[in-house]
Structure 1
């Protein structure tokens, strides 16, 4: 399988990605971008310094100047690109993947993502060509810059706590260990209880993927034991955050998007809120009720960021735990969303769970994964079976019966994963019984059982 993915470049070290390929990718990126300077950061994995160095040399071979940002969370790298007014930037990371993986998240100016549709395929063609290009006569320069202080000052603009709160969080030994403790030093009103805040690219405690509920068990226990007002779980490169309420319940990220969207619209009436099509129907309902414009988009950060720019939307969110902010170069940031949520809790006389209950009237499966050999055929089978439904092919197939104005409605989306060899299903209804029955029905039609986790 190719290491050149829909949104980034990712593979195992050293069999799929080694220093030689990293250098060639760096050169291909330089030839593709054609402008200086380029900011390059890296995560905490053991091979990351070697791969970063090789990538940087490749960029310099192409004649572009490089700013080495060193150890860097992905949100910190996005900030560096915007703050330094760089022509582009790359973080050397494999996000939440296991320790043997390494990769590259690629950007243009203003942290605009480079995806398969607008650059990664061209970079792949250049990087894997049989003949490696020779370095240009005037290689690019190299300097080292630490933007940590400036990054913290930027994120703190979102801090507006009205009372002290107790926060339990789990960094999963990932890049939140690098930035979040420094942020907390400047937030005296937060009493923090932390788990796994030692940088360790081996991920010795659990996988750095908070979407997998098995990875939330330790955090849920800590929330209950410490009496925390909320819990927050970060992923490996700290661009995603998932939430647990004070009762220890894992909360869907679409519900968090809805909660924060209500607050955004109170200060910017009529604004667009961008969300992905897997989200609960409560989200567009509440955005409309708040005087906003809900804009549905296909799954993937490159699509949502582009749509946010189109609408100049102040905020957007994905079910995956990516949250996007206009005043952060339309990029995702786990610490900004966490501060945004904590601000709301601090202003409310209700516990977090009560605030959320008001936004959870419906019943959802969450995202369910299936391994299917012929994914397109499976999507077509579902489409044909429910031919009398309202259908939408924005991303895979979305099938809907009824609407929230009437009882017994339900919808399902079935789509191919952009990052794994899986089909992903989300199904929701206003009725628990309908949700359960339709879930069973869809799986029987497809002839599949869900994957674990």
Structure 2
């Protein structure tokens, strides 16, 4: 029996040799073709550098071709390059074998349909699960599909570079890049060849055992070496990518990590300079600084729930030029509305190169707030606890409460969002305030309520 826990809200992910193996991968390939009706069409498949990637990719391809679909195998590329290929080549579906930032024994699948529209739990992933569970998938196709290999590295590099005006990059930058032994180590060198920047590579060798640190830059311990290196090199900024290189995290010239929502704010600023009145999507966890900048620059800011399967359709609906999340996901209309850490880094660099001062000078004028960062607490009954906290704040004078994504309470000088994890018995708390004292007092108060 297949382990249903591997089918997540945004992708398929499990532990290789335990909940995920070649047999499961083959079934997912078959179900993917049958669910989308891709027999007789071509599916684009790629993988990251994880040690289990090659056998899982081969098994998935067997499932796809056995169901009558052809395969264009891109081999080792980043997830954003896979999305680009599906959109650019106008193919009806694609699959990336990756577990993103998870530990080395994990792997999985990010699946998309035409125009790089990602499958999510309610829109494809759970249906694929149910098709496998039912045991009623059609048998092998009368004519198996073929497999063709291709390399889109250079083509993707040109696509990424098209987002910036290279002729205007008069100020040379020095950028330290930590690929974390992930796919950025392969995808970025051709891009930097087209730039007047110096880059200092860290851990560009592809190695799915992750010998230097875990491929998850959102954890502070995984970016400490990058922070130190930026300062010692006298670099303008640093960039850390996750394993499949679809997310990026930025470190300023002082070695301070810039939160994902502030990176999104600066990317939005760059986009609005080129496209006044553009629509920008941001999630409910992002700092107030983001919508305030968008409105002040003449753009349209639309608040959204967290998650690519929520934000991408909204971007299409509103023809939004850009979407940003606090988690380091950055979405671009001209990238088929898909996320790309590489394009985010380039647009950020373009903004830095257009001014004389350091990165920290870009941030200070747009960010008067202080934030807690995301704090997780284990809670047995998430719903009851959130109801209890909402009941308390409903009595507070001037409190504005909404349920766009979990519980958000705005009390003017500070606000917080509390939302349940999709996969664990956790409540995730984010607090923002006008000053440090207000933040710390109210953060501790809400945490005591959550954990009490």
TM-score, with normalisation over the residues of structure 2? 0.95
1:144 Cα offset (Å):
1.3
1:401 aligns with 2:408: no
Aligned to 2:21: 18
How far apart, CA to CA, are the structure 2 residues paired with 1:73 and 1:116? 22
How far apart, CA to CA, are the structure 1 residues paired with 2:274 and 2:73? 38
1:273 aligns with 2:276: no
Aligned with 1:129 (options 128, 134, 153): 134
1:417 Cα offset (Å):
2.3
1:239 aligns with 2:246: yes
Aligned with 1:167 (options 133, 155, 175): 175
C-alpha deviations, 1:198-225, integer Å up to 9, x for none?
1111111111111111111000000000
Unaligned runs of 5+ in 1: 403-408, 449-453
1:337 aligns with 2:344: yes
Alignment check: 8 A CA contact 1:24 1:132 kept? no
1:202 aligns with 2:209: yes
How far apart, CA to CA, are the structure 2 residues paired with 1:72 and 1:415? 33
1:43 aligns with 2:48: yes
Alignment check: 8 A CA contact 1:21 1:127 kept? no
The alignment of Structure 1 onto Structure 2 pairs a total of residues equal to 441
1:211 aligns with 2:211: no
Aligned with 1:391 (options 401, 409, 413): 401
Aligned to 2:190: 182
Alignment check: 8 A CA contact 1:312 1:326 kept? yes
Aligned to 2:354: 347
How far apart, CA to CA, are the structure 2 residues paired with 1:213 and 1:190? 27
How far apart, CA to CA, are the structure 1 residues paired with 2:33 and 2:213? 36
Aligned to 1:284: 291
Alignment check: 8 A CA contact 1:381 1:446 kept? no
C-alpha deviations, 1:274-303, integer Å up to 9, x for none?
001101111111111111111001000111
How far apart, CA to CA, are the structure 2 residues paired with 1:447 and 1:436? 16
How far apart, CA to CA, are the structure 2 residues paired with 1:196 and 1:133? 45
Task: Please say which of residues 263-272 and 330-339 is displaced more in the overlay.
Answer: 263-272
Aligned to 1:405: none
1:105 Cα offset (Å):
0.1
Unaligned runs of 5+ in 2: none
1:60 Cα offset (Å):
1.6
1:107 aligns with 2:109: no
Residues 143-154 of structure 1: pairs in structure 2 closer than 5 A? 143-154=148-159
Aligned to 1:74: 79
How far apart, CA to CA, are the structure 2 residues paired with 1:59 and 1:156? 33
Aligned with 1:428 (options 432, 439, 443): 432
1:67 counterpart SS class: strand
Aligned to 2:417: 413
1:131 Cα offset (Å):
5.7
1:360 Cα offset (Å):
1.9
Task: Please say which of residues 377-386 and 294-303 is displaced more in the overlay.
Answer: 377-386
Q: Which stretches of structure 1, 4 residues or more, deviate above 6 A after TM superposition?
A: none
2:122 counterpart SS class: helix
Task: Please say which of residues 231-240 and 366-375 is displaced more in the overlay.
Answer: 366-375
C-alpha deviations, 1:405-431, integer Å up to 9, x for none?
xxxx11110112235543211111112
Task: Please say which of residues 138-147 and 331-340 is displaced more in the overlay.
Answer: 138-147
Aligned to 1:119: 124
2:204 counterpart SS class: coil
Alignment check: 8 A CA contact 2:382 2:425 kept? no
Aligned to 2:262: 255
2:245 counterpart SS class: coil
Alignment check: 8 A CA contact 2:154 2:190 kept? no
1:133 Cα offset (Å):
4.2
C-alpha deviations, 1:75-100, integer Å up to 9, x for none?
11011101111101010000010110
1:56 aligns with 2:61: yes
1:105 counterpart SS class: strand
Alignment check: 8 A CA contact 1:272 1:312 kept? yes
How far apart, CA to CA, are the structure 2 residues paired with 1:261 and 1:45? 33
2:145 counterpart SS class: coil
How far apart, CA to CA, are the structure 2 residues paired with 1:421 and 1:174? 30
Query: What is the aligned-residue RMSD (CA, Å)?
Result: 1.3
